[in-house]
Amino acid sequence: MKIMKNIYLIIIAMALTLFSCDQENMGTIYEPGAPYVAFSTEVVPENILSAETNYSVNVQLVRSELSGTETAEVQLEMNENVDGVFALESNTVTFQDGEAKAYVRVVPAIEPSEIDPTKVYEFNLTITSNNASELYNNTTYKASFKYTPIGTGDFVSTFFEAEWPVAVEKLEVGELSLYKAKDLYETGYDITLIVESGNVTINPQTAWESADYGPVWAAGSGTITGKVLTLTIEHYVPDLGSFGEYTETLTLP
């Protein structure tokens, strides 16, 4: 019994030692001592650019203290797609007395008709004022034009010497009609075709994966007659070479 008692005492001593070490390694819990302003979420992946929203995106901020007015400064990071195309309507956001939420607005810096509807725009924002939350002062909003599914079309490829069905989506922006052929050559790679005045343009975009060369790009042009798009498409690997140009045909739903 004495031996068992000593074993119990050793176990208890070890447990207390481990608990003490764990308490020392817990660190400081984040407890802001002053009122703060934060973004309500870190990532908002699907925002729609449309005439109904004036092709703008509202980004929500929240605050911890509701009494009185509060002002925060926000900065929009420029990137290749955003620079010269979008900007902040104002980099100052004001919370009115009693309000928990306020918004900063990302707006077009050019005419909406000049915004490239084939791109996904990523807006990275930071609260730069000294009342910014230490943990939630950054956010990323992504925005793009919304395509509408119109059914299943038919695709004939001389490059792959095959024919297969393809889901098609459509977007109309001013004089442009855009068609998105979903997973046209390979799953995960949609191809966007731009139609204007009977002519078709396929801007350079990744189309499929080669086991030997990696991502293969496609670009080309063509015409539309009724529902039939007759296309000349080049398949190529940037900086390496081209597989050549091939005639491809997409029949819309």
Is 27 a residue whose pLDDT tops 60? Answer: no
Mean of the per-residue pLDDT values of the chain: 88
Please enumerate in sequence order all residues whose Cβ is within 8 A of that of 221, keeping only pairs 6 or more positions apart, or say none.
Answer: 199, 200, 201, 202, 231, 232
Report how many helices (DSSP H) and strands (DSSP E) the chain contains, helices first. Answer: 1, 17
- pLDDT digit string, tens, across residues 123-155: 999 999 999 999 899 999 999 998 999 999 999
pLDDT of residue 33: 64
CATH architecture of the domain formed by 37-145:
Sandwich (2.60)
Asked if 101 contacts 61 with a C-beta cutoff of 8 angstroms, the reply is yes
Q: What residue segments make up the domains of the chain, in order of their start?
A: 37-145, 148-251
